[in-house]
Amino acid sequence: MVIRTLSNLPGVSGHEEPVREYLWEESRAFIDNHWIDSMGNLILLKKGTSCSKKVMMLAHMDEVGLMVRHIEKKGTIRFSTLGGIEPSVLAAKPVIIHGKENIPGVIGMKPIHLQAPEEIKSPLKKDSLYIDTGHASDEELKRLTQPGDPITFDTPFAPLGQLWKGKAFDDRAGCAILLETLKMNIQPAYDTFFVFCVQEEVGLRGSRIAAQRIEPDLAFVFEGTTACDIPLVDPHRWTTQLGQGPAFTIAHHGLVFQASILQSLSTLAQENQIPFQWKQKIAGGNDSTPISKAGVGCITGSISLPVRYIHSPASLMSPKDYEATLRLSELILRKQSNFFTHDGRLS
């Protein structure tokens, strides 16, 4: 299963190589050209019957995670975060340090029995956490790892009731959707660039470079987004819900999406009985913002898979949402002309 493999691969921001290598090996038989740019983005070209337009379909390879900052004398590791991670979700979680070899560890903290009352009442801070690898000394550990080495959560993909559990669904789910779409070997109407970009979680960096290189006329970003359909959140504050299909974003930080692309996406879904939902929260953002502002600008759509407990060691996603999003991705590729008028303008 593509999503299982991609979720299990390590690939924090700046260290996406294992993900990129897998995507390249799996896709190379279905493309006409490819590039790996200076940032590390993987760009795959599927030629269309016409080269008059350029369409880009993008997902980011990187996941939130940690990085070795300092190795202490008693063999524990201090770390930095890569991407937006709330420290309260980290204590006692198993991790893997990717040094000269993979080193298992557990995130530790001061035992609650030894904490002063003010410590117990205070929010957990990153500097009060460390990684225990079971090694007795820094000399022993320094032979295996060094500052800058990436650290991922040790959360293997697995079914959980009617859902999937795993790490990195943001955005390996989007990567899996695009890879499976590529493998359908569809001949698109226009030259289509499948982009697997880097460093989204640390500043939306790779997508801007890719868009400036490609200069697309139309772009679609496939992304994981937060699902808040849990008992502790009032229903009117649910950003998205699991099982209701992909979410279309109306606006978020830095971008208000054009009504034409929202209408085209919703019409395509409705005509093909694909369930979808509107993302209910405006805060946050993704690669669609830098893409829309690259070069002379590009009309962009954002298609998100709902994910519970996003940016944490373990997330949940619905197979129903995944299949609905895959079907929508296939139709976007098959029916690209639906997004343009008969005289070639974006509808």
Element (H, E) at 291: helix 288-293
Three-state DSSP state, 138: helix
Question: CA-to-CA distance for 321 and 307, rounded, in angstroms?
Answer: 10
Cα separation values, 132 from 121, 148, 240, 339, Å: 24, 17, 36, 53
Question: CA-to-CA distance for 210 and 35, rounded, in angstroms?
Answer: 10
In angstroms and rounded to an integer, the radius of gyration of the C-alpha atoms of the chain is 21
Q: Closest Cα partner for 57 from 343, 334, 319?
A: 334
**230 phi, psi to nearest 5 deg:** -130, 160
Query: Which residue matches tokens 């880009």?
Result: 56
CB-CB contact of 132 with 76 (8 Å): yes
In terms of Cβ atoms closer than 10 Å to its own Cβ (0-12, 13-18, 19+), residue 301 is buried
Cα separation values, 114 from 110, 111, 318, Å: 7, 6, 41
Question: CA-to-CA distance for 93 and 79, rounded, in angstroms?
Answer: 14
**Catalytic residue selected from 16, 63, 200, 201:** 200
Q: CA triplet 38, 42, 43: central angle to 5 degrees?
A: 105
Pull the structure tokens for residue 165.
């559990």
Identify whether 17 is a catalytic site residue. Answer: no
What amino acid positions are annotated as catalytic residues? 200
